[in-house]
């Protein structure tokens, strides 16, 4: 086992001592060093052009005129990276107030792209607040799908409603409820589960944070993830697809949870594919066809998998997990 410096305190906090050995056991010493380097990076500000209200060319021009030096992302042209800007500069722009852009991490833009919403689809977003992925889904489908967006926390639910309205996502219906408690009478063509997680991919040693990352949080998150995933698969129509994502890079919350779901004969893994994957800093995964992004100066650590329901889903019982979004940080989601 390599010796890692666990007192990596910057302006933000100390990395939990249990994490580097855990990462090394999963990824090996060299990749672990790369992950730790990513935690030390100051991540650039990123945003998404809201095509429900404007277009990417207009956003690029406005950002350039404001002196923010935007870098349009070739793998997703609606995404922009601002290497020299702070979020306050974006918030001061008229187009931000108008809902024409949404501050969002590049990694969190991946699940809607994988789900690939189409006009006419009935979609469930199980843990939707603050609404970045919800409104991105609406934009990708041109507001011509129907999205049920759930958020159990009332305060966060109000924030979700605000963002949905500001972004002009008229196809979204917000339910302030625990998605695990939805009636079995519901059924959906597709489901997005951006699950509550430990936030191991978003840890930063350069930004202030609450410092709640613990082993207990990881274990609590896994319980919630399995319960939500089981419910999402139950509400999914046969032949429909569920995109499962977390802002974690730990197999316990990612591949292990997906492998648990695959124990049901009614679930199959659909590989995440596309030329755009070549633009991402990827980590190896234990399940071929799943994607795990390494944290660096552009991306947060993130995991995405795609599941298809082929028949009745029968999964082992799940002990009740803690309610709410367990993530150690609330990044731009």
Environment class of residue 88 by beta-carbon count within 10 Å: exposed (0-12), middle (13-18) or buried (19+)? exposed
Whether the CA torsion 132, 100, 301, 115 is positive or negative: it is: positive
Show Cβ contacts of residue 149 under 8 Å, excluding neighbours closer than 6 positions: 125, 128, 131, 134, 160, 164, 172, 173, 174, 175
Largest interatomic CA distance in the chain: 56
Nearest in space to 208 (alpha carbons), one of 20, 42, 36, 33: 42
What is the token pair recorded at 83? 């290497």
DSSP, res 153: S
Instruction: Calculate the alpha carbon distances from 315 to 21, 48, 178, 195, 229 in Å.
Output: 31, 37, 20, 18, 10
Strands (E), the chain: 45-49, 71-73, 76-82, 101-103, 122-125, 146-150, 172-175, 188-194, 236-246, 267-269, 282-283, 291-293, 302-309
Q: Residues with catalytic annotation? A: 247
What is the token pair recorded at 294? 């390494």
DSSP, res 206: S
For 271-274, the CB contacts below 8 A with 24+ separation are 271/306, 272/114, 272/304, 272/305, 272/306
Q: Which residue's structure tokens are 């219906």?
A: 173
Nearest in space to 219 (alpha carbons), one of 264, 183, 250, 181: 250
Q: Which residue's structure tokens are 């999914």?
A: 236
């Amino acid at each position: 086992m390599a010796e890692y410096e666990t007192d990596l305190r910057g302006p933000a906090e100390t990395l939990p001592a249990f994490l580097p050995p855990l990462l090394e056991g999963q990824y090996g010493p060299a990749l672990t060093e790369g992950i730790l380097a990513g935690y030390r990076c100051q991540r650039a500000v990123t945003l998404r052009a809201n095509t429900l209200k404007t277009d990417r060319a207009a956003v690029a021009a406005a950002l350039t005129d404001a002196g923010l030096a935007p870098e349009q992302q070739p793998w997703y042209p609606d995404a922009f990276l601002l290497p020299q800007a702070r979020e306050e500069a974006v918030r001061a722009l008229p187009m931000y107030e108008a809902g024409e852009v949404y501050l969002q991490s590049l990694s969190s833009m991946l699940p809607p792209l994988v789900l690939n919403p189409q006009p006419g689809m009935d979609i469930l977003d199980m843990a939707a607040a603050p609404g970045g992925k919800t409104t991105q889904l609406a934009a990708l489908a041109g507001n011509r799908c129907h999205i049920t967006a759930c958020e159990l926390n009332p305060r966060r639910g109000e924030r979700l409603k605000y963002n949905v309205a500001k972004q002009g996502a008229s196809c979204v219906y917000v339910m302030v409820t625990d998605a695990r408690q939805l009636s079995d009478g519901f059924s959906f063509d597709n489901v997005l589960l951006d699950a509550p997680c430990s936030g191991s991919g978003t840890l930063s040693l350069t930004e202030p944070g609450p410092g709640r990352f613990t082993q207990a949080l990881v274990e609590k998150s896994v319980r919630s993830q399995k319960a939500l995933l089981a419910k999402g698969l139950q509400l999914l129509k046969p032949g429909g697809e569920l995109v499962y994502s977390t802002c974690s890079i730990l197999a316990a919350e990612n591949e292990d949870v997906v492998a648990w779901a695959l124990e049901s004969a009614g679930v199959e893994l659909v590989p995440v594919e596309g030329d755009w994957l070549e633009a991402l800093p990827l980590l190896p995964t234990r399940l071929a066809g799943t994607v795990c992004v390494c944290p660096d100066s552009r991306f947060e650590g993130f995991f995405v998998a795609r599941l298809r329901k082929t028949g009745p889903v029968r999964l082992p019982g799940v002990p009740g997990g803690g309610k709410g979004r367990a993530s150690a940080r609330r990044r731009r989601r």
